C-alpha cells in the first residue's frame, strides 16, 4: 500500500512542509530509513540522523526549529511520537481488514455464534455457547472454551488459550501463547501433610482496550472474577494470580508476578521482574521499580518504591548515596580516632 504525504497529514492532523505529492509504502527507523519510507523524529538523541536520513517523509514536532535544510518532506504535529503511533494503528487496521472469514480446518460448536466481518483462523476451537463480536480476529491454533464472551474489534493472536466462562471486552489485544482462565493456585493443607486442591469456579474478566503480551498467564478466580480493568497494559511473561484486580490504565512490565487477591489501583506502574505478595492493596499512581519485592500495602497514592523488601524510592536513593561514601567515611573515622588518641595522650600528666 502506498500513501501520499497529504493523505498521511490528513490522518494525523499535521501540517506539510515540502513536496506534498511524495509517497511512501513502508516505515523505517530514522537512522536506517530509505527513500520511499516514512519515519519520525521525537528524541533529541537522534537529532543528527534527522539531517542524514534518506526517508521521504518525516513526522516532526511543530515546535522543532531546523538547524539546516533537509530533503525529506516534513509533517509537523504537536506530538511526533503520538502521531506516529496513531498512523501505525491506522495502518494496522487497514491490513487487518483484509482478514475475514473462517479458515479450515476449524471446530465451531453448534451453539457458538459470531458477528459480522470476523476472522477465524485454521485449527481454532470454539466451544459451546461462545459469543464473538463484530470485526474480531481469532488467529490460528487458538482455543476458546465454553461460554466465553469476546467483544468487538478484538484481536486474539495465535495459540492463545481462553478457558471456559471468561469474558473479553472490546478493542482488546491478546498476544500469542497467553493463557487466560487457568486454575488459580489454591490448595488446602490437610492434617496428614497432603494438599487438597480448592476448586476454582470463578472466571477472568478483561475490560475494553486492554493489551496483554505474549505468554502471559491470568488465573481464574476461586470465586468471583480476576479483573483486568479498562486500558490496562500487560507485558510478556506476566503472572496474574486468582482474584487479582488490575486497575484502569495500569502498566505491568515483563516477568512481574502478582499474587492472589491483591488489588492494584489505577495508573500504577510496575517494573519488570517485580514480585508482589497476595492480599494487599496498591494505591492509585504507585510506582514499583523493577525487581522490587513488595510485601505490604501501599496506601498513599503516587508513592514510588524500590528494593526487596520494597521501600520508599527517595529514601533508597539517599541510602545508596551513603553506601557509596562508606569507604571515605571509614577513612575519616580512622583519622578522627587517631587524632583523639593523640589528644588524649597529650593530656596525660
- Residue (of 211, 203, 307) closest to 250 by Cα position: 211
Query: Does residue 309 have a cis bond before it (omega within 30 degrees)?
Result: yes
CATH class of 3-96: alpha beta
pLDDT of 100 reads: 86
Q: Choose which CATH entry (2.160.10.10, 3.10.450.50, 2.120.10.30, 1.10.300.10) describes domain 101-313.
A: 2.160.10.10
pLDDT of 312 reads: 82
pLDDT of 260 reads: 97
C-alpha cell at 26: 513502508
Distance of CA 146 to the CA centre of its chain: 28
Domains 3-96 and 101-313 share a fold: no
Residues in the chain where the model's pLDDT stays below 70: 96-97, 311, 348-349
First-to-last alpha carbon distance for the chain, in angstroms, is 98
C-alpha cell at 325: 561514601
DSSP 97-163: TT--EE-SS-EE-TT-EE-TT-EE-TT-EE-TT-EE-TT-EE-TT-EE-TT-EE-TT-EE-TT-EE-
The residue behind cell 526549529 is 65
pLDDT of 46 reads: 96
Cα distance between residue 272 and residue 311, in whole Å:
17
Domain ranges across the chain? 3-96, 101-313, 318-347
Coil, strand or helix at 345? helix
Helix or strand holding residue 317 (H, E): helix 313-324
Whole-structure pTM value: 0.80
**105 and 126 in contact (C-beta within 8 Å)?**
no
Cα distance between residue 235 and residue 253, in whole Å:
5
pLDDT of 345 reads: 82
pLDDT of 91 reads: 86
Residues forming the active site: 242
Q: At a CB cut-off of 8 Å and minimum separation 6, what does 282 contact?
A: 262, 263, 264, 265, 268, 276, 288, 294, 297, 298
pLDDT of 311 reads: 65
Cα distance between residue 276 and residue 295, in whole Å:
6
Amino acid at each position: 500500500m502506498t500513501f501520499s504525504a497529504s493523505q498521511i497529514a490528513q490522518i494525523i492532523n499535521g501540517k506539510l512542509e515540502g513536496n506534498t505529492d511524495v509517497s511512501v509504502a513502508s516505515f523505517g527507523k530514522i537512522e536506517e530509513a530509505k527513500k520511499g519510507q516514512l519515519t519520525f523524529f521525537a528524541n533529541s538523541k537522534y537529532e543528527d540522523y534527522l539531517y542524514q536520513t534518506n526517508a521521504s517523509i518525516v513526522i516532526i514536532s511543530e515546535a522543532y526549529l531546523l538547524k539546516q535544510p533537509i530533503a525529506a518532506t516534513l509533517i509537523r504535529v504537536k506530538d511526533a511520537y503520538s502521531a506516529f503511533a496513531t498512523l501505525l494503528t491506522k495502518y494496522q487496521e487497514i491490513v487487518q481488514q483484509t482478514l475475514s472469514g473462517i479458515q479450515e480446518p476449524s471446530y465451531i460448536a453448534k451453539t457458538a455464534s459470531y458477528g459480522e466481518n470476523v476472522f477465524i483462523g485454521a485449527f481454532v476451537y470454539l466451544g459451546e455457547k461462545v459469543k464473538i463480536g463484530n470485526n474480531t480476529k481469532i488467529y490460528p491454533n487458538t482455543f476458546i472454551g465454553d461460554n466465553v464472551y469476546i467483544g468487538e474489534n478484538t484481536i486474539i493472536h495465535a495459540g492463545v488459550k481462553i478457558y471456559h466462562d471468561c469474558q473479553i471486552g472490546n478493542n482488546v489485544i491478546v498476544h500469542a501463547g497467553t493463557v487466560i482462565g487457568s486454575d488459580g493456585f489454591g490448595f488446602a493443607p490437610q492434617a496428614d501433610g497432603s494438599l487438597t486442591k480448592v476448586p476454582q469456579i470463578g472466571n477472568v474478566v478483561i475490560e475494553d482496550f486492554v493489551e496483554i503480551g505474549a505468554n502471559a498467564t491470568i488465573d481464574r478466580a476461586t470465586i468471583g472474577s480476576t479483573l483486568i480493568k479498562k486500558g490496562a497494559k500487560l507485558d510478556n511473561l506476566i503472572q496474574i494470580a486468582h482474584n487479582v484486580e488490575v486497575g484502569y490504565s495500569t502498566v505491568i512490565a515483563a516477568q512481574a508476578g502478582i499474587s492472589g487477591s491483591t488489588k492494584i489501583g489505577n495508573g500504577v506502574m510496575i517494573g519488570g521482574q517485580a514480585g508482589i505478595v497476595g492480599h494487599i492493596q496498591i494505591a492509585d499512581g504507585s510506582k514499583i521499580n523493577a525487581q522490587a519485592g513488595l510485601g505490604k500495602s501501599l496506601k498513599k497514592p503516587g508513592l514510588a518504591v524500590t528494593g526487596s523488601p520494597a521501600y520508599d524510592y527517595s529514601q533508597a536513593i539517599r541510602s545508596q548515596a551513603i553506601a557509596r561514601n562508606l569507604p571515605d567515611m571509614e577513612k575519616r573515622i580512622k583519622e578522627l580516632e587517631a587524632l583523639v588518641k593523640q589528644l588524649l595522650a597529650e593530656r596525660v600528666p
